[in-house]
């Protein structure tokens, strides 16, 4: 991947929203190789259980660095994960985009997500507050960190066969 550049002073919220919508479309199509390409090598995909933000020292559903993201995707693609056999069909709606900050090379964006899962003829709905730390590279925006804070993650979340 090409080098990271500093954040432009004029941040276009529409561009950021379009990036997140594209990621949602990629995930709904289960195009996991394209999803992996959206990340910086130093990024983390985090689905916490607790309310704190010290993710390294708490229990999380996911706390994936680049190696763990690749391993998770490999399990999904090859059917080695019981929860992903068969994979669920999903439809995501992402909204309420709020620019939370921009410093150095990072843009922090918050938004809301609803995921409708259809599996075994049953539909379940999950809601999450997403926080993205994005960086602008020579190849466009990339995800450095993504935190998906699910409602009910502390008791109602069961195995899932997709990414939030």
Mean pLDDT (the chain, rounded): 87
Q: Is the pLDDT of residue 81 over 80?
A: no
Q: Which pLDDT belongs to residue 7?
A: 63
Strand-pair category, 140-150 with 39-48: parallel
- CATH number of domain containing 27: 3.10.450.50
Mean pLDDT confidence for 28-39: 96
Does the residue 62 lie in any domain? yes
Q: Which pLDDT belongs to residue 75?
A: 85
Q: Which pLDDT belongs to residue 8?
A: 62
- Measured CA to CA in angstroms, residue 25 lies from 15, 106, 120, 126 at distances of 15, 23, 22, 17
**CA neighbours closer than 13 Å in the CB half-sphere of residue 119:** 18
Does the residue 73 lie in any domain? yes
CB atoms within 10 A of CB 158: 6
Q: Please indicate, yes or no, whether the overall pTM of this predicted structure exceeds 0.85.
A: yes
Does the residue 36 lie in any domain? yes
Per-residue confidence at 85, pLDDT binned at 50, 70, 90? Answer: low
Q: How many domains does the chain have?
A: 1
Does the residue 157 lie in any domain? no
Per-residue confidence at 79, pLDDT binned at 50, 70, 90? Answer: low
Does the residue 131 lie in any domain? yes
Does the residue 158 lie in any domain? no
Question: For 3-24, how does the pLDDT look when each residue is reduced to its tens digit (9 = 90+)?
Answer: 765 666 668 999 999 999 999 9
Does the residue 17 lie in any domain? yes
Structural domain boundaries, residue 60:
13-150
Does the residue 100 lie in any domain? yes
| Whole-number Å distance between alpha carbons of 95 and 41 | 27
């Amino acid at each position: 991947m090409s080098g990271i550049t500093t954040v432009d002073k004029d941040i276009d919220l529409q561009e950021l929203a379009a990036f997140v919508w594209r990621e949602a479309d990629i995930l709904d199509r289960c195009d996991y190789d394209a999803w992996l390409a959206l990340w910086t090598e130093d990024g983390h995909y985090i689905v916490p259980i607790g309310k704190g933000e010290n993710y390294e020292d708490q229990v999380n559903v996911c706390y994936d660095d680049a190696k763990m993201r690749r391993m998770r995707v490999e399990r999904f693609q090859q059917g080695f994960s019981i929860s992903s056999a068969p994979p669920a069909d999903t439809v995501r709606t992402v909204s309420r985009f709020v620019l939370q900050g921009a410093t150095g090379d990072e843009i922090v964006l918050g938004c809301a997500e609803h995921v409708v899962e259809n599996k075994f003829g049953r539909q379940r709905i999950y809601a999450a507050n997403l926080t993205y730390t994005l960086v602008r590279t020579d190849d466009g925006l990339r995800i450095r960190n993504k935190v998906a804070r699910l409602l009910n993650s502390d008791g109602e979340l069961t195995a899932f066969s997709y990414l939030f």
